[in-house]
Structures are given as structure tokens and as C-alpha cells.
Amino acid sequence: MARSAPEQRQRLMALWTAHGMGMADPLIGGALGDTNEFVRGWAVQLATENRKTADRWAGELVRLASNDPSPVVRRFLASAVQRVPTKPAWRLVSALAQRSEDRDDRNLPPLLWHGLAPLMARSPDKAFDLAKRTAMPQLADWIHWYGATLEGAPLNHVVRGLGGLDGEDLRRRLAGVWLAMEPRANLPQPASWRTVAPSLYRNGDLRIRRDAERLAAVFGDASMFPRLRATLADRRAPVADRKHAFAVLGRAQDAATLPVFLELLDDDAFRTLAIGIVGRFNAPGVAPALLVRLDRFGAADRGAALAALTSRPSYALALLDAVASGVVKRDLLTAYHVRQLAGLRDAEVTRRVAATWGRIGQSPAEKEAAMSKLQRIFDEAPLWAYSEDEGRRHFQRLCASCHVLGQDGQRLGPELTGAGKNGIRYFLENVMDPNAVIGTDFQMTTVETRSGDTISGLVLGETGSALTLRTTTEPVVVPKADIVRRETSDRSLMPEGLLESLSDRERIELLKYLTEN
């Protein structure tokens, strides 16, 4: 039936049945030459399900990859690349990559890439040779992107290849290199970069120049930094140019640019960005510059400044001095900031935090009693007399740095839009006892760097050279070589005692806003 049944459906059913009985091997050869594309495709599938015996069909599979007119069969072949031994896999990839009619197929190039990528990790030179010959431009793009992620010799090969390109080919290739480098930091500069970079910096295409300058920050090439500093400091320059300069110099954490970053604390277009950057520098002028402006900052900028001031012991001591002298109001620091201070593990900071705020944390019984008391107060309160608008302002100050509700906030923790239907107890349990149940997606990771910076957030991504954390203000790329301590906490990113900075009335206003939205 598998060999001679008149209908394709009958031949396929017979082939599947024989395969299920372990009797399909004598039928595979004939099925690979069947007149129907689906029979040939399924013959490819069944021939390659057993990796140990798939090699015997390699010659026939490569013949089909080179000559079969059906995209259905070629899709089965592209999928089979992942299931055959290495040598026939390379032959299959090479044959399928030459089929120009498949360059716009929505399945074949990605299927082929999924088979090629594991092979490329072991033999990048073969993949680079294939990129020169393939009829699928996107496959060549992916090969060069992945080559750049492998660093070392493969990255140098990709960078060297930029020198022989121009126009759209150069733009695409360079964009791929930047995509590979974006989550990395402080990489050794490829040997070919110094030869290739000058022409990229002078290119007439703005997109090419900007990608090249972004790569300069990753590779530690400071040759363009003086010009970028001048652009950033010039308030008459186009905002887009200044933002690009800021991104490059901030990524490089260029110490010579710190005076310019500090000046941007008074620039409306850059203030928020500048606060996040200056906190990463261990310099004596940073804490005074933030503290003197703290009262003038809006709520979001003030929160970012306090996050910076609680990120290293030297800044924390300056902040605590300001609190002790009354320059900074004690209630500006939420429980989150207090916990950040305690997490610095500095003896003097810890002593002064305890002296100012007392014991941090409550027993389970104390938490349950406090929840029940606040629930009773809320249930008995005439809610019509409490301002929902004020509740929203409390949310923006305390919660919006981590949660989204409606149009407010950013999603570091769970989104709260629509959570009001869960009732008052839901919010009380999660706000007053945030460590009772913690989703793995919301466990906080804390790292300490060689420069003394302490950064806490959720892990967005990790590569061999860098860790990307999403903090309450922005994503931060931390070079792994700079990390001296890394911990994943069993505590929630949301601190205990969040409501303690509010008066009784303000707590009701916040809870009313949460439950009614």
C-alpha cells in the first residue's frame, strides 16, 4: 500500500503504520522518490527520527535539498538539519541555503537558521563561508549577528568584514553587530576595529555613524568622546544629537563627562536621565549636587535621586547627614529606601539607620494584627469623604516606580490595573506582608561592584560578559568583571513598611484609589 496505493492519503497512512510497527526502513527510499510532496516530506521526517540511522539517507536528502521543487519537502529537510549527524547537516544547510526561491518564504529561512546555529557555535568559519554563498540575505545577517555574539575571533571576523561593505549592506551588518553588543559591556576591543572605525565615524549615513559610536562605548574606543561631549554640553544642538551623545557617553561611563552630566541636572530635557547616570560615579561632587536640588525635583526625579543616594555608602552617609540636619525631610525616605540603606552592609550606615528608623520588620503576628486593624478602619470609613485624587498622588509617589495602574507607573512588579476587584484584603496582604508569597519573576537580585556601587533589580538578561538589571528607575548593564558580590534575595522587591510614611487619612486615600481602580 505504501508503495503503490493510488491515493496519497492511503500511501501516507500505510507509511505511518509501518513506522509505528518498526517496519518503515525498507519503504523510506521509495517514499523519498514519491510523486506527492507530502509523502516525500514525511519520508524525510521518518528517515531522520533516528539519529543513528539517519546518515544512511544523507546522499538522498542532499539531492532533494538541491533539486526538489516543493517548498513543503524543503521545509521537512530544513527541520531535519537538527536531527542528523554534523557532516550531513552541513551538506543539507549548504544545499538549502542556495535555493533563492525560498528567500521570502516565511518558514524556511528561520527553520534553516535553527538548524544552523548549533553547528555554527562549533564551526564559525564554515558558517561565515556559507554567508558569502547563500541566496538568503537574512541568513547571512543572522550568521554575522551570531558570530558577533561569540566574541573573540568570530567577532573580529565580523568587524573586519565591515570594511568591505557600503550602503544598505553596511547598515544592516553594522546594525546586527550592535544588536549583538547591546547587552554586553567592557569587551576587549577587536583588533580590526581601529582599522575599520575611522571610516564608519565619517560615513555619510547618520544611522551608520551612530551605531559605530555606540559600539565605540562597548569596545572602549574613546576617540570620538571629545566631540560627543561638546555636543552633549551644547544646549543649542538638536535634542536627538544630544540624546545620542548622552547614551554613548553614559554607556561608557566616561569619567571626563561627569561635569557635563552634573550640569544636565538643571536641564529639563535630560534631568531624569542624568540622575540615573551620575549615581554610578564614585565621585565626591555627586551627592552634594543631588542633595542641593532634591527639593526642586518632581516626584519621579526625587525618587531617582534617592535611589542614587542609597546606592553606595559614601552617598548614603551624605544623605543621612542631610536627614539629621533637617535639610532633607525624614519622611521623604520610604521603607524601600531604608531597606536599600540597610542592604549596603556598611557598619556606620546600618548604625545610623537603626538610630533613625528603629527596628525594621515585624513578626507574622504583628503583621496580621496590623492588617486586621487597618481593614477594620477602612471598612468603617465613610469613603465618600476621602479623595481618590489624593490617593492617586500617593500611588505615584510610593508605588508607580514599580507598578502600573491605568496610565501611571512602570511595570517592575505585577500590574495593578483591574486588581481592585480582588478587594481590600488583597492589597493589605501584599503591601504589609510582601514576602509571604513571591513570584520567581519578581525576586530581587543585588550586585555590588568594584567601585562600591550597589544595584538592586530584576534580571532582564544575562550574557557571558554582562548582567542587565531592571531597577526602579532604568535598565542597567553591569559588566560581570566588575561584580564582587551577587545575591538573589528570598525577599520581595517591594519593601515592608511601605504604608508607614503615610498618615491614617493618606492610607485610606491610597487604599480607596487601589480598590476602586
In CATH, the architecture of 8-206 is Alpha Horseshoe (1.25)
Query: Distance between CA 139 and CA 219 in Å, rounded?
Result: 26
Classify strands 466-470 and 454-462 as parallel, antiparallel or unpaired: antiparallel
Query: Distance between CA 392 and CA 503 in Å, rounded?
Result: 15
Query: Distance between CA 173 and CA 299 in Å, rounded?
Result: 42
Whether 259 has a pLDDT exceeding 80, the answer reads yes
Pull the grid cell for residue 331.
519622611
pLDDT per position as a tens digit, 105-136: 999 999 999 999 999 989 999 999 999 999 99
H or E element that contains 477: strand 475-479
Considering the entire predicted model, what is its pTM?
0.73
Using alpha carbons only, what angle is made at residue 100 by residues 95 and 106, rounded to the nearest 5 degrees? 100
Write down the domain spans for the chain: 8-206, 443-491
- The answer to which of 203-207, 362-366, 375-379 has the lowest mean pLDDT is 362-366
pLDDT per position as a tens digit, 40-69: 999 999 999 887 778 889 999 999 999 999
In CATH, the architecture of 443-491 is Roll (2.30)
Pull the grid cell for residue 404.
502600573
Sheet architecture: strand order including 466-470: 475-479, 466-470, 454-462, 443-449, 483-492
Q: Which residues pair with 447 in a beta bridge?
A: 455, 486
Query: Distance between CA 288 and CA 401 in Å, rounded?
Result: 24
What is the rounded average pLDDT of the residues 433-459? 75
Mean pLDDT of the chain: 88
H or E element that contains 436: none
What is the rounded average pLDDT of the residues 389-396? 88
DSSP 3-state of 404: coil
Q: Which residues pair with 462 in a beta bridge?
A: 467
Other beta carbons within 10 angstroms of residue 440's beta carbon come to 6
